Amino acid sequence: MRPTLDYLTPLAVESERFGDLLAATDPAKPVPTCPEWSAVDLLWHLTEVQLFWGTIVRERLPDPAEAARQKPDRPTDLDALLHLFATAGIALHDALSTTPPETPVWTWADDRTVGFVRRRQAHEALIHRVDAELTAAVVPGQGAPIDPAFATDGVDEALRVMFGELDDWGAFTPDGSTVRVETTDTDASWTVAPGRFVGTSPDTGDEVDEPVLTVVDAAAAPAAVVRGESADVDCWLWGRLGPGQLDRRGDTEVLRRLQEIVDRGLD
């Protein structure tokens, strides 16, 4: 069971940092970690995300269609967009802080409660704050610090949910190897099994055959180990840190397959 953290404080703090950074950045500047976006696109992305989830929670929606329908048009004026972002963040924080975590709402995950939204949106704000720092040319490692306990929770969410929660309409076949992921500053670890997920999407009819990973119980020595401080491991899993900045040991082919999965990215 994951630790209970105060997700509302990092949600507010990281959102404010994100907005302040982009308010002082050329809106046309490209986002290094999201090459298809400019700074203003990044700003709009987190704005619409926070608007969407604020509506889901505030109205206790069992379906996302109504939240999507309520989304306003994207402002063409930067100041208006910054104002909308601030408004969206306040509304999301208010909805989350006044709604019990166990309240059922629609989510795309197995956990369909407000507690899931609290956790996901806090980490969403953090990762995009990192994007905003990189866009603003803040030297990596010299930006705002990331709390180790919060970053460790981010690693857990990335591995167990973002990568490891697989749809039940497909089948996962492990490749027979495992990798241990460790955070050196918090002494946390996870064992992951790379493999392939194969199936047919009931929504699109597309045939899916892709490399994935899932968290497993550690039954034997891993083929490889990836180690680093919690913030670095969290950023690596989200494609915001190169693998060369972590301590990687063991079977090079297994590490290559793991990196291939990480490089596919998270939504």
pTM, two decimal places = 0.94
* Burial class of residue 133, CB neighbours in 10 A (0-12, 13-18, 19+): buried
Strand partners, 227: 182, 247
Among 140, 120, 121, residue whose Cα is nearest residue 130: 140
Domain covering 148-263, topology: Nonspecific Lipid-transfer Protein; Chain A (3.30.1050)
For the chain, give every domain's residue range.
Answer: 8-135, 148-263
Helix (H, G, I), strand (E, B) or coil at 113: strand
- Alpha-carbon span 156 to 150, nearest angstrom: 10
8-135 homologous superfamily: dinb family like domain (1.20.120.450)
Neighbours of 4 (CB within 10 A): 10
pLDDT in tens, the chain (267 residues): 445 689 999 999 999 999 999 999 999 999 999 989 999 999 999 999 999 999 999 999 999 999 999 999 999 999 999 999 999 999 999 999 999 999 999 999 999 999 999 999 999 999 999 999 999 988 766 788 999 999 999 999 999 999 999 999 999 999 999 999 999 999 999 999 999 999 999 989 999 999 999 999 987 899 999 999 999 999 999 999 888 889 999 999 999 999 999 999 887
Which amino acid is present at 170?
Answer: G
- Alpha-carbon span 127 to 56, nearest angstrom: 21
